[in-house]
Amino acid sequence: MLKIFELLCNFKTGNILKGIFHFIMVAITKEKGSMPKYLQLSEWLRGMIDKGRYAVGERLPSEIEFSRMWQVNRNTVRQAILQLVNEGLVIKKNGVGTFVTSRNDDLLKYSLKNITSLTYEFSKRNINTRTLAISKKVISTTSDIAEKLMLGSDNRAIQIKRVRLGNDIPLVIERSYLSYREYKKILAMEIPDSLYKLLVEDFNVTLERSIQTLRAIVLPDNDAKLLGVEPGFPAMFQESIIYDENNIAVELLHSNYRGDKFIFSVESGKFSPMDLK
């Protein structure tokens, strides 16, 4: 029966299949036992998306169409689609419909081995990069930010908030913090996609090393809205402190990465037997 399910995923359900679809779904339900029907339906949809039968950017059939096709109520269909919304595979647009946004094999691998620009990482994968500027302003920082930026008695910093898009899909929210005393000229500048390029070329900064920390979070409402996902959507928070060759902090960067779009890679050194002592 799983083979039948796999074969079914190789066809986009149309009028020819509607007559036999209910029979096959009943058989699949029996085979999968106690698995809730909405999970079985979301699994089928996931398979259709992964196989490209529903392409990225394509509008899915409506809840009414799916409920007729599957012979289930609309609430079951809604739960199945919500499952994929939470996984970041589809997005619901009020009054328009549900659209495919990605496939499971579209995850971006992001290496933490070296200081790198998101613009460069995207370009390596032939992803069209676009940056949406949200704000650029002077703030009085918290004690935590002031300490990490080594601001001293002047706790003012420049905060640059941006949304980074790949192939027109919002992927990352970045909040960069720079010393106002050293980088106040940046307020009058247009920020390119790569902030690091600006720092290196216009401020003659050497980006020598960084300390990066990661933790899982759920997106607050405002950030979820900017990334086009539901509030509480899973994300990865990354804090990066970039230092120059004199070990002086240049930038504190807070980034929220969509949890369904990225894989983080870390290269480790050789294991030492001394660690066992």
**CATH code 1.10.10.10 region(s) in the chain:** 2-104
Average pLDDT over residues 144-166: 95
Q: Could you tell me the CATH superfamily of domain 107-265?
A: Chorismate lyase-like (3.40.1410.10)
pLDDT(10) > 50: no
pLDDT tens by residue, 49-68: 878 888 888 999 999 999 98
Average pLDDT over residues 201-223: 94
| Nearest by Cα to 191 from 174, 211, 208, 212 | 174
Average pLDDT over residues 72-94: 85
Q: Would you mind telling me the total number of residues written for the chain in this entry?
A: 277
Q: Exposed, middle or buried by CB within 10 Å (0-12, 13-18, 19+), for 30?
A: exposed
pLDDT category, 31, cuts 50, 70, 90?
low
> Tokens 């106002």 map to which residue?
180
H or E segment to which residue 75 belongs: helix 74-86
What residues form DSSP beta bridges with 238?
A: 214, 255
Confidence at residue 106, expressed as pLDDT on a 0 to 100 scale: 60
Confidence at residue 90, expressed as pLDDT on a 0 to 100 scale: 84
pLDDT(269) > 80: no
**CATH code 3.40.1410.10 region(s) in the chain:** 107-265
Cβ contact 212:161 at 8 Å: no
Q: Which of 10-24, 51-65, 126-140, 175-189 has the lowest mean pLDDT?
A: 10-24
Distance (Å, rounded) from C-alpha 141 to C-alpha 173?
19
pLDDT tens by residue, 169-205: 899 999 999 999 999 999 999 998 889 999 999 999 9
pLDDT(15) > 70: no
pLDDT(229) > 70: yes
pLDDT tens by residue, 102-111: 665 566 777 7
Q: Which of 18-27, 89-98, 146-155, 173-182 has the lowest mean pLDDT?
A: 18-27
> For all residues of the chain together, what is the average pLDDT?
83
- Fold classification of 2-104 is Arc Repressor Mutant, subunit A (1.10.10)
Distance (Å, rounded) from C-alpha 253 to C-alpha 277?
37
Q: Exposed, middle or buried by CB within 10 Å (0-12, 13-18, 19+), for 217?
A: middle
Confidence at residue 270, expressed as pLDDT on a 0 to 100 scale: 75
pLDDT category, 34, cuts 50, 70, 90?
low
